[in-house]
Structure 1
Amino acid sequence: MKFKFHSIVLYILLVILPTTGIGATFYSYHSYKMKQENKQVAHTVLFLYRDYLDHHLGEAISALEMLTKVVGTETGNINGMKEIVHDTDGNDARFSGLYYATPEGIITIASEGDRPPVDVSDRKYIQNALQTKKTTVSSVITDRVLGHQAIMIASPIFNKQKELSGLLLASLRFDYISSSLNAIKPQYHFEVTDKYDVVFLTDDNNETSDAHSNMLTTPLQRLDWKVSVSPLPIHQKTLNQWVAVECIATLFLMSILFLLAQYMLLKRQTKLERQQNELQKIELVGTFAASTAHEIRNPLTGIKGLVALLKEKYKDEQDQFYFSIIEQEIERINEIVSEFLILGKPTAIIEQTYDVRTILNEVALIIQSEANLHNIVFHLHLPDRPVHIRCSKDHMKQVVLNITKNAIEAMTFGDTLTIFVTNNETHAQLQIIDTGKGIPKHIQKHLFHPFFTNKDTGTGLGLVICKRIIEMYNGHIFINSIENEGTTVHIEIPLHIV
């Protein structure tokens, strides 16, 4: 139940929360990217609208100025001017009305027919046109002739003597301009404002507050007008599809990560359990060994004494041979019991400072004689300077002899056994290298397990005892072996500064 709860928590932490966070990040990123793309397209549309309005107004002003020259030829001919105004208004869809105004600012001729005179002299665009004698465009005003909102263009008329003889006024059609802009990009919301920020042209789309707040604006080049365009809203369905696909991919990857994490945790838990089992096994063996070793030694001491007495009594050569075999076996039992005691609870150890070179020189003769017996070449390489460590000399001899004994047993005629002693700033380093048959990979991981052996007469405690001794002095031991090439045992023990 506890494991299941931990798995659920781990799944939430490694899968659900990251997927949610990454999904939110993807949503924000794609939303921002789509908005930026829509904004760039809206900029293009905005410039299209601006260029169209500039072109439309330019053509309208040019057409009106051209018309003033024609009307100027009919100065004084009321009927002729009426005919020109009426015919032009019917043929040019850009204008909703054409008017002739006197130099005093009185409209006397209208394209809609005979109408009472209308005084527009108070209009600023009329005053500017009369003063500057140039074409001017009004802001949004009320057409006093037709009574609706309009943009008026006033262009001065000159007679043959180049004297101002009146003004030709044109009322621009809002619906014509609006329809033309809508035809360019009908899906976009736009607004056209005059210099007073009065909106006089817009599309037929329903405007939202969000669209209005995000509008892009640019001024016209010909007039003091501004055109604004709202970027299109992002396509929510497309955004959701993208995010859904990416969330599914993220969920898949996070699930794989979760499974890997589960596997690693399970592997770690298995390793910890195995280590605990090994520790419990060693502790159990140690407790058993410590409790029985003394009990075994007591009768062995008596047996050994009795054998010594029998040797004195029976001098026959065959009897002496049997007694020697018994004594050898008793010594072997004592050695096994001594190994059991090391596996037991640590006892008080008398540590002293020793030079590693001295310890190895003392065991070198034993190793050399054993090597000669098996036709093995033995080399010992010692440094010129002392390498001091704190330890029990007997323990260190036992470690070296145990490892070299294993090495010699693994070698054949003509192989080489080499011992190197070095040191770094903190540790003495001992390498025992043989050129024997090596250790198979599937065995190497079990080398320091109690009672594991591949020898017929082995106890499986030798390397366990060596490791236990080295670790008693805060050292480390590990083995590198390549099958059919040889084995190297590395030992490191902290240096002792004398």
Structure 2
Amino acid sequence: MDDATARSRGARWFGALTRVMDMGVVLLAPNRELDFANAPACSLLGYETPDELKRHWPEFRHLFEPGFERAADERSFPLDVELTNGGRTRKLRFELCRLDEPTCDGLLALIKDRDMLDALDDELALAIQMRGLTHFYMEVVHDLKAPLNAMVINLELLKDTLTPGEDSARYERQRRYVDVLGEEVQRLNHSLTSLLTQTPRLAEASQRFDLCDLVQELAALLSPSAKAQNVTVETTIPDERLPIVGRRDRLKQALLNVAINGLEAMPEGGLMGIALRRDGETACIAIRDSGPGIPAEISRRIYAVHFTTKSGGTGIGLYVARSVITAHQGTIRLESTVGAGTTVDVTLPLASAAD
């Protein structure tokens, strides 16, 4: 096989290889002219085809001058550049390699998007951090199980000590408080068990349940905190049943996250309204507070993970709430007026008779 045939075959193999690579590949001749560019390279440099890039190559030649100067002393090295094309500035990283083979000389450049590389570095750092946190959380969860089990036992003992007496209304109210505590402790226990066994909470089986009952439980959970803050909680619940199919505990927690945000907006008292109604084949829940309202620039970011305006807040409550509601084929929408309060509207599809 003569040199020309070998060179031709090598060029075909090289072209086939670069077509499946997810990075830009450029070959430069010793005279700084462009010999080859694959599709990703053209895209990163702002052109659609190699021919178009070759026509505009004089605009880019100066970017590689430092590379040719360093190639005299170094075989391979990185070079970061900023390229402005069509009013857009793009940060690129060139991995340059000197070619000095008999049949191939010049400079090979692998081109990558620097913003994408930075994002990958951030994702890798976050993954490493989360791996460490996972081990820490497992230890914390294990330590919480013992006192939680003690709480379950003592709640049952407390329930047995309650007697009707002369004030039956007070007795029923006490029983209801204890029942709510018991249900929430059991739910917390289930969550901790899921974490210990590394079973995703979303593995909880879907079930058919009445949304009216869930909203009543939500109001009961909010009642002690609301009373302590001098907040009046008003609920509007229809007489008919509103059945839906989904993960009851997850949905209850999502609505509780929304309502707690509303309570925290009224530390000096106010009014919270929780209204449930039917609209065709959809259930609509409106959670309204009379707090100070949310400025537009904040409300646009309210569902972003880790975004919070509260000291010590985690910024995941509303993010999780939206994720859960969306997973139930529902919607969540926030309307707020500074000085007039906030309303969060949630819609969920009702279950059909066949569900």
TM superposition score normalised by structure 2: 0.49
CA radius of gyration, larger in? 1
Whose strand proportion is higher, 1 or 2? 2
Whose helix proportion is higher, 1 or 2? 1
